[in-house]
Structure 1
Amino acid sequence: MDKRSRKLLEEAESLARRQQFDNAIKSLNALLEREPQAIDALILRGDMHYAKGELEMAEHDLEEVLAMSMDYKPRLIYQLGLVEYDLEKYEEAAVHHKAYLAQADERDRRRERVERYLKNAEVAAELRRNPVPFSPESIGPSINTPGKEYLPAFSADGRYLVYTVNYTGGEDFYYSELKEDGTWTKGQALTGVNTLENEGAQSMSADGRLLYFTGCNWPDSYGSCDLYYARREKGEWGNLRHAATPINSAQWDTQPSLSANGDYLYFTSTRPGGFGGSDIWRCKRGLDGRFGNPENLGPTINTEGNEQSPFLHADGQTLYFASNTHPGLGDFDIFISRMQLDGSWSEPKNIGYPINTSAGEGTLVVSLNGKKAYYTTDQNTQKGSPLDLDIYQFDLYQEARPQSLTYVEGLVVDAQTKEIIEGADVLITAEGKTTTFAQVKTLEDGTFLIVLPMGENYAFEVSREGYLFYSDRFELAGAFDLEKPYELSIPLQPVPKELSVNGEQPIILKNVLFVSGSAELLPMSEMELNRLVELLEKNVKLNIRINGHTDNVGDDAANQVLSEARAKSVYSFLVNQGIPTERLSYKGFGESQPLAGNDTPEGRKLNRRTEFEVISLGAQ
């Protein structure tokens, strides 16, 4: 180059160092008019266009450079690929990343990084070639406004919604309730939780009575952002509490996701011991009701980059989260991973285009039945206007749905007075499991709600001090897409202080089961029989009779014998557990006392039962 051209290049380099990109480009344009083959000037102008976000012009300059020489500065090959990736030209980006790797030797310090770029480009190209079904629509004008609404959280029944808003420069919670016509009531501020500080990024318990959320820069916080919780009692939110240690740390702790049965709390944290910037962690609730030390979800989920926005579906095994490092289309993409039988996580799968785009995607929330998903978008922001964030919903395609679920919603009352019973223990155990699946207490209005994944059978018990217990059974093994939840009204019978004139109502032991056609107890019966043992030990005045019943299939005499043999098996179990024989008796009724018609499988199933009946009250 001549002296004038060299002066223009030095001038452009100086302007670039001071980040005066427009003036630097003017000097480079003047230079390249004089010296079109000035390769260093082309490289610098490409850098300036890239810094300004002028990707097409940066691509043009890099292509010209590589047309002159592929080996002058080999790094420009993969840098062109990065520009093409940002332009969503994923196939072209992959070509240039491959070209760089083909000429790089094994000692190249950029090799590992470019291999990651190549993987991203190949995955992005594949996602664009195979779009997934996606037809989003607004959740409705009663929620969405020209302001910012985002991060929805729903109760398990889908009837109660809490979301974050930012209308005045600070974050607050609003709530809405689903009407009978399928629309939402107008959003209202969540008094009792909102403060003068920022609160957001919330997760609600299945029954809609407990809210975990993020508070930033609160007076009692350990770090920049900590987790807090609040409770809803008698329709009012309050009782705010700092989640404290070991959940919170001096680092960034945010974005909670509470499992449906309340056993695990997932959240995002930058605490030490992770794999990258922000990782997803979880705490397990102990038998004392307190959460234990956080555990990292491990390198299958977490990377050297950032993972955030976890949403654990109510099935307890499907995790949706955002990552900027797992291969995808843009800044943050949404991924899905499923818990395996051994407790490990499956390799995260990109949820697909156009749900994910070249822009950043955040939290994805999925309904209980897995059919509907919710997310936040800024697509309604008008050019030159303030940011407008809205909550949208769409039908989630089949492959990205979680396991099928239903829920049990119940009201527990006194069988005699019909008054509600607060604090009754509700216990659900999956068949064949030794640990409790879910355990809750009825709330102040006597209600409870528990989510049940399909594919298993469950034993169900309700008990309260001073009452005989209630049992039920939910057979969901092999059942799919059960649209209607279980809605139960449960009358608990008080432990009798004296026998009524008409006798006491027998209590059916719905989880006492036998080998077909036999009096041999199945192992799964022991849990409920042990509950009966506890009842008798606590109430030593109770003398009971075990009653056996059958359906009308087969010979009358054989059914009579079978019913008596089954009643005796339960009697023998109780005796072996230390219950005195003088407090026990048994009787078989055969098919003589049906509860339903025997002309349907459902009716016959109801008629095949074992029950206990209080027949006398002994001395204390």
Structure 2
Amino acid sequence: AWDSVKEGDRNFKEGKGTYPVARDHYLYALQYNPDNAALNYKLGVCYLFTDNKYEAINYLLRAYILDGEVSGDIHLLLGMAYQLILEFDKAMEQYNTHSSQLDPTEKQAYSKTLAKRFDECMNGKNLSRNPVRVIIQPLGEEVNSKYDDYNPLFAFNDTALFFTSRRPFGKAKRNKIDNKYNEDIYSSSLEGGMFQKAIRYDKPFNTENNDAVVGVANDGNTLVLYRGHIQGGDLQISSFIPEKNSWSRPRSVTGRLTSKDGETSACLSPDGKELYYVSRNSKLTLGGKDILFSTLDSKGKWIEPVNLGVTINSPYDEEGVFITPDNRYLYFASKGHTSMGGFDIFRSERKEDGSWSDPENLGYPLNTPDDEVFYITDQTGSHGYYSAIREGGSGSRDICKVVFLGSEKELVLKTEDQLVAGPDPGLTGFLIIPELRDLDNSLLLSGSVIDTTDGVVPIVAKMEFYDPSTGDRKALSISDTTGSYTVSLPEPMAYAIEINASGYLYYLDILDYSSVSGDEKMRKDFYLKKVEVGTKVVLDNIYFQTGKAILRPESEKALNQVLRFLENNPSMRLEISGHTDNTGSLRINQKLSRDRASAVVNYLVGKGIPQEMLESKGYADTQPIAKNSTVEGRTKNRRVEFKVLSK
């Protein structure tokens, strides 16, 4: 265990890029020392800066309970974690607690940061109360990887998508700043509306340092590249040479556009005569990274750049600038303005006098308290693409497609006179239609999540409520350190609930609140079963084609429940086993049960679960759980189950 702690500490100190490796070592060590406050704290930090904010809260709270002085930033980190899961009131409470424990000098230094955090939380509360109607869909495994993928840019006529990835390739080097792999340029061709398997570019586009395509001219013949090894980050130009059917070697843009402080992203106007780019130029920026602007003069030279001004640039960082093909809208990411945390995407419209309107936050759920950057549109403007960390994605930061649905259709009412029935058929009246008002049909549910194995032990757990007919998530909550939770359900209906907590079997049930009114106070306690080595769970609703080991599409929901269980317990090893009834020969049933177990394992591995966490076995009809003499018994015996081998 101590060897695992040492190895974990080594990866922890090296930076965020190896936090996932450190986490796995810490989880192994935690099995032998679950009450070590420092170990729980480091696990919380690893989860906070990787992919599971709920687990971050779980371990950080555990660390604080074990040792209230485990670290001076424990309440700051808890505030950040709560903010990221939209628990803004809890986040502000933790930020206040952190502030109250600082000495006067520290408190004065922290006051600006605290004010910014509070502003973000208030922005988040306002934006999340009025979500925009939008579909956000990660582009899938053809484009995205378990590493950071971002900065999408369409090639000429939207025939392909350039993007930046931090996935390893060959003898890839790690960046000294965050210990993640250096940036490389990839592209995915678009054929028949489908993105194809991404390919990595060779030299001269990719080098051993950071490389990215950050701008594409409207005619497709000019690329603006980012090179991370020149003055901390610089912009270069590559032009297409038709007679050679190849691209020129990248060359630095004119010196007046660059600075020793470095430049990052850029965008050319549709006519190629304007350049918008992000720079750290301390002589021109208002604070952090700003968007600068330059135009071509009559000789085809770029003039001295200017700052786009305080309407666009905030005292904080801006990034990922993009101007639409019609030259009308400017999209960019900012940590300032009305951000709800990290970078949010904003849009500004060009006015008739050429100035820009006040930036508009694109709203939740497109924006979250995490970082959303590099928003672009296709040529038609009908779809957007940007980089974000989303549930259901491939891993870290993914490239997602955005479809705006517009406003919900309002009820159309006729305005002409309407006849009102009465005792005298000769009389008519004018019917005044009452004003339609939105009714609050939401339900408030509260209770506790408890482990009753050894007395009553409260559990910090993630609780998700779904529409069972569509699979759409309707509400989410997380229980606190006392096990208590309160959740607002949007309307009276039946809800499917899924509860996940580290070290416990996932909980599934249907709650029928279709006949409950919003005036009723509802309470429901949930009891979770701790995972022990040897625990077996039958996986209901796993379906195969008859006589084959091919999973049917309706199995996906149940398989994804197992996926989430494994993601919440990354140190666990499971045996996935297939079982049959006694119909047919033992030889055939043995092969079928083994192949079906393998199909489940392959599905989970394909979704990112490490192969070493799983093994598959086929037991044919040797482990029945019911009598094979009845139809019902044989149905129960045809099953897939998992057994916990280690935790």
Q: Which has the higher contact order (CA 8 A, sep 6+)?
A: 2
TM-score category, normalised to shorter length: 0.3 to 0.5
Larger Cα Rg: Structure 1 or Structure 2?
A: 1
TM-score where L is the length of structure 2: 0.45
TM-score where L is the length of structure 1: 0.47
